[in-house]
Structure 1
């Protein structure tokens, strides 16, 4: 099969051939027929949702493998060909990685929850002193990631910095990475100071920490759409400590997204919401918060793929390609409407 179009972000017209599940720039031998599956348009290396929880739609619903497959197919059919699942109620089943119909998955094992810091029983409940060992275990049993619930209620303390730091160091020593859920100033601060690989949400993040995040490679996954969908309701509520704390955190997140980008922090697109397959909307939220359109698209495509260890559209890269009739950097709404989807070298949409 042959693929031709203008590749983003390079903005160069290129032609690839698909051999097995890889892209190549080597022409097939003379006389060999190569079906043209994409001829013209704009090409991206598959969309990416770096914060999604397929398999259960709320904390009260048991993890369900049939629902997991449906959610992953919903992602795929929207052009989301790579996902990171930072925490689930159960470890990702082995068949996910072998099913060629599904997006590539980078999982983070079960949520790691210390007392009082998550929905009871929804993740792996542990004592604070057990966190370093449990973090290494979950990273080793997944795709190398683990997810720590770094804080929970707005008026209660976060996981202590020394314990979180020990957990991050232990996981890094084992070759893994740590994502930290944080929605309070203390939780966000501790995640940065501990050297976490990603801040999930980062509500109330002190902007004075952004340069440290950039220097140590801590990514920012603000999941703006998950918060923004409920913002009008929160603004309409009667003033009170909890409501005012949330509003201040939300408004700070919007400011911090642009400031983080300008400081050199890797900002990435994650939905943390349902239905699955809506990362294009998250890219629009990043633009609304102040990211340039190309940076926002990268956060949902080539930048995220690189961050997760996969190349973009290049010779020898995985044959994960989505095509658009027009340039999505000029009209980000286009991102939700690919004209062709190729996953693992197979046309799936």
Structure 2
């Protein structure tokens, strides 16, 4: 019988049954991510940047007019899909949402809710490409934002952007834009879908760390698989759009090579806080690992007005792990987890017995952020019933 310590190590690494059997006879020490209750972080801990991650962070409290977090706020990152905020604002600069054609309205809706790349590419091509960025820099007084490098003018996701400029963008949208524009664009961001149109789970960072109300625009670049649906490769799907994962080195101060994952938006009643977290990860980092790291960083921040969900954060192992509506494999699938991602477990209950040799168990974890259940055998803990997690 496999020992609990080896079993935990196998789960944490997503190892095969054959390798698990080998580990039964050749003990190996493998570190496992510990479960992290929300209370584990003290109020004094701020901007807890995971090892190997480069981050730019800004949190602005609109009630007091002050920043509660500032870390590398002027550092330029390739924007990935966060630039879609500027693309949408440019479309609506001198016209009301009611004046949009049905086709353009549909494009903005899917671009903001599902982070659709094709819609962004259409606007980019039709409205002057890099000139869009130039116009918005002048209009909003942005200081760290710049169009993509001349070598890749069609790659809108290579637009340079900083955390402090992102706060300026949201402050304009909230405080200066016409009410119709504000309500329309924020309405789209409030309806961010868990699965983006390219099959990536985009509810990391802000969306995974805080209860609603929030409105988010996320960005990712340099990953090949993001959970939710059958994996697609950004480079293949969005060639020329700026979301490709190819290694290009740097363009001035902007790193175009390392995997990027960004979470931006507004949080709390009355959209009290503006949050901008930009991150770069070591080459080869999986989407699940980056998703987990940006989640831990975001949860460490002082975000006035934010409501944090109750539960225990626990690592997972395996790929293609489904979250289901009930504690049974016969129930419908809500989504598929990014491989190896950390999840918030609210409670657990007994359900259908599930076998994934060498494991078997009938305990299921309820994931409040996903609104469904996953079998406990894919949690990176040695027991089938997780200690300290209440029964549903």
The TM tier, using the shorter chain, reads under 0.3
Return the index of the structure with the highest Cα Rg.
2
Higher fraction of helix: 1
